[in-house]
Copies of this chain bind each other. A is one copy, B any other.
Amino acid sequence: MATMKQVAERAGVSISTVSHVINNTRVVSDGVRQRVLGIIDEMRYIPSAVARSLKNDKTHTIGVLVPNSSNPYFAELIRWIEDAAFQLGYNIILCNAHGAAHKQTACLRLLMEKRIDGLVLVASGADDEQGPLPGHETVPIVQLERALPGLDADLVQARQEEGGYAATRHLIELGHRHIACVSGPADLPRTRERVGGFVRAMEEAGLAVTPESIVQDEFTSAGGHAAFTRLLARPRRPTAVFVTSDLMALGGLCAAGAAAVRVPAQLSVVGYDDIAGARYALPPLTTVAPPKHDMAWLAIELLIDRIRGGQAPLRNTALASTLVVRASTAPPQ
């Protein structure tokens, strides 16, 4: 790979002239400029961002650390993050923490070595297993979706509790009285808040929330399938279910189909996340849609502002989600 020095020699000018031609950082006579540009092209010279980074102390690279990038919800978020970052001149390094706080720490360490300019963190693991984050003091962090207990960093999230509330209200307004909630593991904050919204709506409507109103399982389609299977086997089935994630809800719809329970005729289902698959589920899934695009952009804009030295006080932005009503909900029979 050609270097600036080689280009300079070949063009018969100094290194700095080449540099200035490339960066438009001072006036260069047109003749020289053309000649240099020609040589650059001819030698297929590509400037080294590595050397540039060493000099400027900026890599124009943002780390993105998520629990699992193949989860459709995160995948969609990442796509918008990449989009926003790229348009603003940044690349992203993607890491999966696989739900384990220790792997999260290991990834972060590597990202710090690579001298990322900033980090978008969608935290992994339960709160109580969080270790210290290497390098938090030196690199701006924006937390997405979930706040880590001891971490002083900007936070962009959607109002989870409100979403759970809206979803449950929707079911109540349709006339449902016997409503269950299928949720992921209780040690994940987002899940907990969504369930909180469910409980609030229920109590507000004077509907009882018993321990068996809430069924827990893994935060996956398989988990949703299992939870629904248990739920539907009960002697007294609910007429509606609020599920704390679309992935689980999709698994649930599948289980309902297998059990010959018709949705929404016999059972209404509301999901959460509005992943792409929800729209084409059978029936199309009513769900709570967090503003993924806006969250991603806001997170990146916030982060880049910090990277540029923005000293605004810590921001904690909670965006509103919208209930998307499709065909999986209807009045009870």
Chain A residues within 8 Å of B, Cβ to Cβ: 1, 44, 46-51, 53-54, 59, 61, 68-70, 72, 75-76, 78-79, 82-83, 86, 91-96, 107, 109-115, 134-135, 137-138, 221-222, 224-225, 250-251, 253-254, 257, 276-277, 279-284
Contacts and interface: CB of A to CB of B under 8 A. Distances in A.
Given A276-B70, A281-B254, A284-B254, A79 B96 contact: yes
Given A94-B78, A94-B82, A95-B86, A46 B134 contact: yes
A28 B123 CA distance: 39
Interface pairs A-B: 7 shortest CB-CB:
A70-B79, A75-B75, A282-B282, A254-B280, A49-B113, A221-B280, A257-B282
Given A72-B75, A82-B69, A109 B46 contact: yes
Nearest to A249: B280
A113 B82 contact: no
Nearest to A136: B44
Interface centre among A44, A51, A91 (most CB of B within 10 A): A91
A1 B138 contact: yes
Interface centre among A95, A115, A280, A283 (most CB of B within 10 A): A280
Contacts of A91: 93, 95, 110-111, 114
Nearest to A48: B115
A31 B225 CA distance: 59
A202 B254 CA distance: 32
A274 B77 CA distance: 22
A106 to B, nearest CB: 9
Given A93-B91, A281-B282, A282-B257, A75 B82 contact: no
Contact of A94 (B92, B113, B253): B92
Nearest to A92: B94
A82 B59 contact: no
Contacts of A59: 50
